[in-house]
């Protein structure tokens, strides 16, 4: 990885770092003087050339040759290089002076001496020697690169700084940095360096490391080469030279090509590696201790606990091992697709800056830009997008369609962020011709972080679908493209909190992803093979596939594989206390295909995800009750169980062995009336099916008080009344405050095998196992008998005895006929000795009998194993002898204080449940079911909810479900057209007209198809909404008259003619009812009268009829007040919106305390519902009372109602006796403060009033 840092003086400094999977980190850094240093494991730095020398490039010349080219320059003639140009360059050859002569004496000093060495820097002295030697041509190290900043002097400067001059010196220098002390010899020093970088035992780049090195440095080493090579070091220094010269690029840490996903498997593998290395160490220790190897056993050496302890610690305490979110199927699925930058080896919330959290262009199609938590984890925890996957190296890939020669092919290629880097990719919604050609001359594309317009020939790939940009949760939001991203984030997060409802209802306006989410999350049960349903119960569905499993043909009892059995989950409790309940959808005799939905699960409806309910909404203020996002709902939602959900609470009772004696589960509880024990069985445990409320006993338990010497009278009482007379404390499990429900299950666990508590449980479990065993054996016997009957057709008996005797069942030589075979009861035949005269038939018969015996034996063996397990003692926490778990199911209706939300981040609390008759109602008398505040839309900019409301209204009235995929959703014209069609259908139903509008499914499809052919109206030209305020004249989208001019099919033209005919008929009928003239009541419709083909005026006529009936074409309706019956002043947006009930239920939050536990030090009440704590009266509340001058109230709150220990007891006493309240004393927290000050050595005394 290459990084860029800025020096305080503005110079750019570059560094390159190698981070291996295992082993030492190496960092190459450039300093301000262009010298390259190496740090190994952040130890003391040394020049990079010393490392190169140690690797075998011992001379300066060898080092220069690694990074530079050699160019020959002429020193004489016209093209001669100047002296100034030569200075600072490096000579690329040796020069030998054949005779060095003293200039003064003329004495020959030496012969054949090297006077200029290869790798020597040219200075004035070198130039003098060159002139003396009359050198005509000179080789110099140069770069033939066109660099923005000129040649880098990095190598030259580093060599100058490097004190070492040979391989040995370099090895000794590096050894002294790696280990304290000097190396004894060169071999030791070389071995030390080898161990650090070139030993597979000590160093491992991993497959990913080698892949990244090859890709970034441009080297081509095999993937198996997971240690460093000389080539790697040279390439890194070469890259640093390039960066210093102003070429190349540094790495972006936030790019997904530089971040990989560590999957669960990899994390567990690492833990296994740790566990196994610990175990290996222990084995070695034990082997060294044991002197006699012959006596050692494997069991003594190997202890598997060392490995299992590491794995358990990982699952139990790792930051990344989380309690699964099971609120609904979407929550579970999203939790499994989560990406986290936190955890071991990751970031911490505090250190993570803005850049890490921000959306990056490489996230496109890999990481969702929308779904992330609000709060401190924003951007650190994200979700995989819809189609992304993780490759074997841990990089996230996304699919694209290949584009060849400007044509989109059907080839799908998966690209990681690095592979995508140089590619040009077109968007999924770019218009294509029938043969895959781009229709536009220029296409908007993505290239890195830019968005150029390119010709089709220059494009490499195309997105597969617009939904690949977002995660599954965001892909479930219809009209997501019309929502502000902040609200879409809330919407995708809140869908995960939706509680599964008792009666589910798929959304009228969906995105088409609902079915896929339901099946992929495992919430629904799908058929594995095709077949016919033969048995359906609440617990199981059985399908006869009519075929045996592949590979079992010709084998005995192959028919047993013909039936597929699907057990269903009934009222299982989830981690979040919601219920998992699967309901069969098929009937006996129904044919199913592979992948068909057999049973619905929680939050699913006919195999589609159904997190909430479609309800009739009006956007309007209602008597101030929906101020600030509050919600008003109709009593109908409570009465009809529309938002009712089932919650299952698990309550536990621990029985411990205390110092004062053993606790005991019993029915004999002191000071409890008999009627309170009515639902407890003889053991003192509540029966299944009992209805309970807060305070009821679920399991009776007594704890012994301190053993004291009993008086003779007490001994007598104990002898007569037994346990009841003993001095014990009632510590029974009771229903917590605020909880009511029905007991659906009780589980008992014990450390003792012979625990009398478990006798009943064991009996039931063994009975169930034996019943299952009988059922399985009967299935095998039936299949066996059927196969035997097939074998016996036209066969002759050799030997057939009655079971358990030596009497013949049939005579030898007797022929089997169809009638005879049907009458045989094989239970009476000794199948062990049964033989036929035909040898092959006899062998087949034998194999079927043997196979049946083998399978029956296996089932019996398995049952015995399971019965043995029933009698195994349970593993319980330390100190716990018995554990009772009671499951209470409660039905929660929607109530004031519950939180509700739509899918667009439009959340609110229910403030009022109004009677149905008080709700605003439509002109036909239908009351709306929910009233939302219209001010919740404009400032939040989540207009998707309004479009959903309009399309939902059309779907509700016309009876269809709309699917509007993300970024490919319903257009304005489609919504507008459907609103008008729905308006006419509503008028027909509300006014009970004889004339029928064309609103069949075929008609709806005709209209939607026609909208696709309308010419695009650019912004600013208006959309034909005409003159009225709010576009009331024509509604949403283009007017219907725009459709009439289209060149379309006969079916389409006929549809509009039928529409015109309906308007004329309906107008006539309404005019007749009112007793008014058709022309004066409906002038626009009257113009259509007598026309068989309509060319214009249709839109005006539709609007006229709708407005007459108090419904507007733009999705607004004239509502009336349920209280006064008067029409509201303005038309109101009404439609169907999909609302969710979130898991923030008021029943879980409401809490009250009278007397409860106190904190040990301050003696103030504890905080929180779980601790049965009090409410904090904080600083601001104190100011409020001070402002009102309520001194006595304030004094009570701060003393006797809180931590004045004596005072609070006296107040209680006074209230009981009816006396006046005593004066408050000193709060305990004040005493704590005094003691703290005294601990600091300050003498603090209280001056008591005299």
Encoding tokens for residue 1199? 């003393």
Q: Could you tell me the pLDDT band of residue 1031, with boundaries at 50, 70 and 90?
A: very low
Given this model, what pLDDT does residue 1029 score? Answer: 46
pLDDT higher for 248 or 509? 509
Residue 1070 has phi, psi (to 5 degrees) of -70, -40
Tally Cβ neighbours within 10 Å of residue 118. Answer: 20
Given this model, what pLDDT does residue 1023 score? Answer: 47
The distance of Cα 1156 from the centroid of its chain, to the nearest Å, equals 40
Helices (H), 539-668: 636-639
Average pLDDT score over residue span 605-622:
95
Q: Could you tell me the pLDDT band of residue 1021, with boundaries at 50, 70 and 90?
A: very low
Q: Choose among 180, 149, 196: nearest CA to 51.
A: 196
In angstroms, rounded to a whole number, what is the distance separating the alpha carbons of residues 395 and 259? 7
Residue 31 CA: distances (Å) to CA of 4, 17, 36, 232: 12, 15, 7, 21
Given this model, what pLDDT does residue 1024 score? Answer: 45
Residue 533 CA: distances (Å) to CA of 547, 583, 593, 1069: 14, 15, 11, 52
Provide long-range contacts, Cβ within 8 A and 24+ apart, for 619-624. Answer: 619/931, 619/932, 619/933, 619/934, 619/937, 619/946, 619/949, 619/1132, 619/1133, 619/1134, 620/920, 620/931, 620/934, 620/1119, 620/1128, 620/1132, 621/933, 621/934, 622/912, 622/914, 622/920, 622/931
Encoding tokens for residue 1049? 């099919």
Instruction: Please determine, for residue 101, whether its predicted confidence score (pLDDT) is greater than 70.
Output: no
Q: Could you tell me the pLDDT band of residue 313, with boundaries at 50, 70 and 90?
A: very high
Please list, residue by residue across 37-57, b when 16 or more beta carbons sit within 10 angstroms of its beta carbon and e when fewer do.
bbbbeeeebbbbbbbbbbbeb
Q: Which of 792-801, 884-893, 913-922 has the lowest mean pLDDT?
A: 792-801
**SS3 assignment for 763-791:** HHHHHHHHHHHHHHHHHHHHHHHHHHHHH
Rounded percentage of the chain residues whose pLDDT exceeds 90: 55
Given this model, what pLDDT does residue 508 score? Answer: 96
Token look-up 């008609």 returns: 1003
Average pLDDT score over residue span 958-977:
92
Helices (H), 429-523: 485-495, 514-520
Domain 500-609: give its CATH code: 2.40.50.100
Given this model, what pLDDT does residue 1020 score? Answer: 46
In angstroms, rounded to a whole number, what is the distance separating the alpha carbons of residues 868 and 873? 10
Domain 645-752+873-892: give its CATH code: 2.40.50.150
Helices (H), 904-971: 944-958
Given this model, what pLDDT does residue 723 score? Answer: 59
Given this model, what pLDDT does residue 154 score? Answer: 86
On the CB side of 588, how many CA atoms lie within 13 Å of its CA? 6
Instruction: Please determine, for residue 1172, whether its predicted confidence score (pLDDT) is greater than 90.
Output: no
In angstroms, rounded to a whole number, what is the distance separating the alpha carbons of residues 786 and 822? 10
pLDDT higher for 1091 or 1194? 1194
Given this model, what pLDDT does residue 1025 score? Answer: 45
Encoding tokens for residue 1062? 């309906």
Average pLDDT score over residue span 229-252:
89
In angstroms, rounded to a whole number, what is the distance separating the alpha carbons of residues 230 and 56? 9
Q: What residues are paired with 657 via a beta bridge?
A: 662
Instruction: Please determine, for residue 104, whether its predicted confidence score (pLDDT) is greater than 70.
Output: no
Average pLDDT score over residue span 107-132:
74
Please list, residue by residue across 581-593, b when 16 or more beta carbons sit within 10 angstroms of its beta carbon and e when fewer do.
bbebbbeeeeebe
Q: Which of 539-548, 607-616, 1185-1194 has the lowest mean pLDDT?
A: 539-548
In angstroms, rounded to a whole number, what is the distance separating the alpha carbons of residues 171 and 168? 5
Task: Compute the 3-state secondary structure of the chain and give helix, strand, coil in percent, each to the nearest 5.
Answer: 35, 20, 45
CB 936 within 8 A of CB 906: yes
Instruction: Please determine, for residue 1022, whether its predicted confidence score (pLDDT) is greater than 50.
Output: no
Residue 19 CA: distances (Å) to CA of 26, 40, 209, 258, 926: 7, 11, 8, 12, 69
**Strand 46-47 vs strand 728-730: parallel, antiparallel, or unpaired?**
unpaired
Average pLDDT score over residue span 1084-1093:
80
CB 899 within 8 A of CB 1149: no
**Strand 540-544 vs strand 396-404: parallel, antiparallel, or unpaired?**
unpaired
Q: Could you tell me the pLDDT band of residue 552, with boundaries at 50, 70 and 90?
A: low
Question: E-assigned strands of 295-383?
Answer: 338-340, 381-383
User: pLDDT of 409-428, one tens digit each?
Assistant: 999 999 999 999 989 999 99
**Strand 645-658 vs strand 880-892: parallel, antiparallel, or unpaired?**
antiparallel
Q: Which residues contact 806 (CB under 8 A, 6 or more apart)?
A: none
Encoding tokens for residue 589? 């005799």
Instruction: Please determine, for residue 604, whether its predicted confidence score (pLDDT) is greater than 90.
Output: yes
In angstroms, rounded to a whole number, what is the distance separating the alpha carbons of residues 911 and 521? 34
Q: Could you tell me the pLDDT band of residue 1027, with boundaries at 50, 70 and 90?
A: very low
User: pLDDT of 1124-1139, one tens digit each?
Assistant: 999 999 999 999 999 9
In angstroms, rounded to a whole number, what is the distance separating the alpha carbons of residues 24 and 38? 12
Q: Choose among 1114, 1125, 962: nearest CA to 1026.
A: 1114
In angstroms, rounded to a whole number, what is the distance separating the alpha carbons of residues 103 and 121? 25
User: pLDDT of 809-835, one tens digit each?
Assistant: 888 878 888 888 888 888 888 888 888
Instruction: Please determine, for residue 1018, whether its predicted confidence score (pLDDT) is greater than 70.
Output: no
Question: E-assigned strands of 1110-1199?
Answer: 1116-1117, 1132-1141
Q: Which secondary-structure segment (H or E) carries 889?
A: strand 880-892
3 state DSSP class of 542: strand
Average pLDDT score over residue span 454-482:
95
| 397-464 and 1153-1239 in the same fold | no
Rounded percentage of the chain residues whose pLDDT exceeds 70: 95
Q: Helices (H), strands (E): how many in the chain?
A: 35, 50
Q: What is the DSSP string of 90-106?
A: BB-S-EEEEEEE-TTT-
Domain 1153-1239: give its CATH code: 3.90.1800
Instruction: Please determine, for residue 150, whether its predicted confidence score (pLDDT) is greater than 60.
Output: no
Domain 397-464: give its CATH code: 2.30.150.10
Encoding tokens for residue 1024? 């034909």
Residue 120 CA: distances (Å) to CA of 30, 88, 159, 382, 771: 22, 10, 10, 56, 95
Provide long-range contacts, Cβ within 8 A and 24+ apart, for 222-230. Answer: 226/21, 226/200, 227/197, 227/198, 227/199, 227/200, 227/203, 228/18, 228/26, 228/197, 228/198, 228/203, 230/55, 230/56
Q: Could you tell me the pLDDT band of residue 1248, with boundaries at 50, 70 and 90?
A: low
User: pLDDT of 338-354, one tens digit each?
Assistant: 999 998 888 998 888 99
CB 113 within 8 A of CB 97: yes
pLDDT higher for 720 or 472? 472
Average pLDDT score over residue span 143-151:
60
Q: Choose among 783, 212, 764, 824: nearest CA to 552.
A: 783
Classify 1-60+147-251 by CATH class: alpha beta
Instruction: Please determine, for residue 389, whether its predicted confidence score (pLDDT) is greater than 70.
Output: yes
In angstroms, rounded to a whole number, what is the distance separating the alpha carbons of residues 542 and 560? 13
What are the extents of the domains in the chain? 1-60+147-251, 69-142, 264-317, 397-464, 500-609, 645-752+873-892, 764-870, 992-1108, 1153-1239
pLDDT higher for 109 or 1095? 1095
Instruction: Please determine, for residue 312, whether its predicted confidence score (pLDDT) is greater than 90.
Output: yes
The distance of Cα 921 from the centroid of its chain, to the nearest Å, equals 41
Average pLDDT over the chain reads 88
Average pLDDT score over residue span 254-279:
92
Given this model, what pLDDT does residue 549 score? Answer: 65
């Amino acid at each position: 990885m290459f990084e860029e840092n800025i020096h305080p003086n503005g110079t750019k400094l570059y560094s390159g770092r190698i981070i291996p999977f295992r082993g030492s980190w190496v960092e190459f850094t450039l300093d301000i003087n262009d010298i390259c240093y190496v740090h190994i494991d952040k130890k003391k730095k040394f020049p990079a050339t010393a490392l190169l020398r140690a690797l075998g490039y011992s001379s300066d010349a060898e080092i220069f040759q690694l990074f530079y080219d050699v160019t020959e320059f002429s020193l004489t003639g016209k093209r001669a290089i100047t002296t100034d140009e030569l200075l600072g360059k490096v000579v690329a050859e040796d020069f030998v002076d054949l005779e060095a002569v003293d200039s003064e004496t003329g004495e020959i000093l030496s012969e054949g001496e090297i006077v200029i060495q290869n790798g020597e820097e040219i200075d004035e002295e070198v130039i003098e020697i060159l002139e003396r030697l009359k050198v005509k041509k000179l080789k110099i190290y140069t770069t033939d690169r066109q660099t923005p900043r000129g040649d880098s002097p990095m190598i030259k400067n580093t060599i100058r700084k490097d004190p070492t001059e040979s391989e040995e010196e370099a090895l000794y220098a590096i050894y002294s940095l790696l280990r304290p002390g000097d190396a004894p010899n060169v071999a030791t020093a070389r071995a030390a360096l080898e161990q650090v970088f070139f030993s597979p035992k000590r160093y491992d780049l991993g497959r990913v490391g080698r892949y990244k090195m090859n890709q970034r440095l441009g080297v081509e080493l095999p993937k198996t080469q997971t240690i460093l090579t000389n080539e790697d070091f040279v390439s890194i220094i070469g890259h640093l030279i390039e960066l210093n010269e102003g070429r190349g690029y540094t790495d972006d840490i936030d790019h997904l090509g530089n971040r990989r996903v560590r999957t669960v498997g990899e994390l567990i593998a690492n833990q296994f590696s740790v566990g196994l290395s610990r175990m290996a160490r222990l084995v070695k220790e034990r082997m060294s201790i044991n002197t006699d190897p012959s006596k050692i056993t494997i069991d003594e050496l190997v202890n598997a606990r060392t490995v299992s302890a590491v794995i358990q610690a990982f699952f139990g305490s790792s930051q990344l091992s989380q309690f699964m979110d099971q609120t609904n199927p979407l929550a579970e699925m999203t939790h499994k697709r989560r990406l986290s930058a936190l955890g071991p080896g990751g970031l911490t919330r505090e250190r993570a800056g803005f850049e890490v959290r921000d959306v990056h262009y490489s996230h496109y199609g890999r990481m969702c830009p929308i779904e992330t938590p609000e709060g401190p984890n924003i951007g650190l925890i994200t979700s995989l997008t819809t189609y992304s996957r993780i490759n074997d190296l841990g990089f996230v890939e996304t699919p694209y369609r290949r584009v060849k020669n400007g044509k989109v092919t059907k080839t799908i290629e998966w690209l990681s962020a690095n592979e995508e880097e140089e590619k040009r990719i077109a968007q999924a919604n770019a218009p294509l011709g029938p043969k895959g050609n781009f229709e536009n001359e220029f296409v908007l594309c993505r290239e890195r972080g830019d968005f150029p317009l390119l010709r089709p020939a220059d494009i490499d790939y195309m997105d597969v679908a617009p939904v690949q940009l977002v995660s599954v949760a965001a892909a479930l939001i219809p009209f997501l493209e019309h929502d502000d991203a902040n609200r879409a984030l809330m919407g995708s997060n809140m869908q995960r909190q939706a509680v599964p409802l008792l009666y589910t209802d798929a959304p009228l306006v969906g995105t088409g992803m609902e079915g896929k989410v339901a099946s992929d999350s495992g919430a629904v049960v799908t058929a594995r093979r095709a077949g016919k349903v033969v048995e359906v119960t609440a617990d199981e569905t059985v399908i006869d596939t009519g075929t045996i499993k592949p590979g079992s043909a010709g084998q005995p009892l192959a028919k047993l594989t013909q039936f597929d059995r699907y057990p269903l989950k009934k009222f299982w409790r989830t981690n979040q206390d919601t219920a998992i309940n699967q309901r069969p959808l098929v009937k006996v005799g129904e044919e199913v295909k592979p992948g068909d939905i057999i049973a619905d699960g929680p939050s699913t409806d006919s195999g589609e995800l159904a997190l909430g309910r479609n309800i009739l909404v009006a956007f309007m203020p209602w008597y101030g009750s929906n101020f600030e996002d509050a919600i008003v709902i109709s009593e109908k939602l409570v009465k009809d169980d529309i938002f009712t959900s089932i919650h299952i609470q698990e309550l536990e009772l621990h029985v411990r062995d205390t110092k004062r004696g053993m606790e005991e589960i019993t029915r004999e509880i002191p000071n409890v009336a008999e009627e309170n024990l009515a639902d407890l069985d003889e053991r003192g445990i509540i029966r299944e099916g009992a209805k309970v409320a807060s305070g009821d006993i679920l399991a009776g338990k007594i704890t012994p008080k301190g053993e004291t010497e009993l008086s003779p009278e007490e001994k007598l009482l104990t002898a007569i009344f037994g346990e009841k007379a003993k001095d014990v404390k009632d510590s029974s499990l009771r229903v917590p405050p605020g909880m009511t429900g029905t007991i659906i299950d009780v589980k008992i666990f014990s450390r003792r095998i012979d625990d009398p508590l478990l006798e009943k449980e064991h009996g039931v479990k063994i009975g169930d196992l034996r019943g299952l065993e009988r059922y399985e054996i009967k299935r095998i016997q039936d299949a066996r008998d059927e196969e035997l009957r097939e074998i016996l057709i036209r066969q002759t008996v050799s030997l057939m005895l009655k079971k358990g005797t030596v009497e013949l069942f049939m005579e030898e030589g007797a022929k089997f006929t169809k009638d005879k075979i049907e009458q045989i009861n094989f239970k009476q035949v000794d199948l062990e000795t049964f033989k036929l005269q035909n040898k092959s038939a006899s062998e087949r018969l034998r194999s079927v009998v043997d196979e049946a015996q083998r399978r029956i034996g296996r089932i019996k063996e398995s049952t015995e194993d399971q019965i043995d397990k029933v009698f195994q003692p349970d593993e319980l926490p330390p100190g716990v002898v018995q554990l009772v778990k009671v499951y209470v199911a409660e039905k929660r209706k929607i109530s004031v204080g519950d939180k509700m939300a739509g899918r667009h981040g439009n959340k609110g609390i229910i403030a009022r449940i109004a009677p149905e008759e008080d709700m605003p109602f439509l002109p036909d008398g239908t009351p709306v079911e929910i009233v939302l505040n219209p001010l919740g839309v404009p400032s939040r900019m989540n207009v998707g909810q309004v479009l959903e409301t309009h399309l939902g209204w059309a779907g509700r009235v016309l009876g269809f479900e709309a699917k509007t995929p993300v970024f490919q959703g319903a257009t304005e014209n489609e919504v507008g057209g459907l609103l008008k069609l729905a308006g006419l259908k509503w008028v027909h139903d509300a006014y009970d007209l004889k004339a029928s509008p064309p609103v069949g499914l075929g008609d709806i499809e005709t209209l939607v198809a026609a909208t696709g052919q309308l010419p695009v109206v650019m912004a600013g030209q208006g959309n034909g909404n005409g003159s009225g305020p709010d576009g009331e004249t024509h509604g949403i989208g283009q007017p219907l008259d725009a459709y009439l001019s289209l060149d379309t099919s006969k079916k389409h033209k006929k549809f509009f003619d039928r529409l015109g005919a309906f308007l004329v008929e309906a107008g006539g009928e309404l005019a007749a009812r009112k007793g008014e003239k058709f022309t004066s009541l409906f002038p626009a419709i009257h113009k259509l009268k007598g026309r068989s083909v309509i060319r214009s005026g249709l839109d005006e006529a539709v609007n006229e009829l709708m407005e007459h009936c108090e419904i507007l074409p733009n999705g607004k309706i004239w509502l009336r007040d349920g209280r006064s019956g008067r029409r509201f002043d303005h038309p109101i947006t009404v439609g169907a919106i999909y609302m969710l009930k979130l898991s923030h239920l008021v029943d879980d939050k409401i809490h009250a305390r009278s007397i409860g536990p106190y904190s040990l030090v301050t003696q103030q009440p504890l905080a929180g519902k779980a601790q049965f704590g009090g409410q904090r009266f904080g600083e601001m509340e104190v100011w409020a009372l001070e402002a009102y001058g309520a001194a006595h109230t304030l004094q009570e709150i701060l003393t006797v109602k809180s931590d004045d220990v004596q005072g609070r007891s006296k107040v209680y006493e006074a209230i009981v006796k009816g006396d006046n309240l005593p004066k408050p004393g000193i709060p305990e927290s004040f005493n704590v403060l005094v003691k703290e000050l005294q601990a600091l050595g300050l003498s603090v005394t209280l001056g008591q009033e005299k």
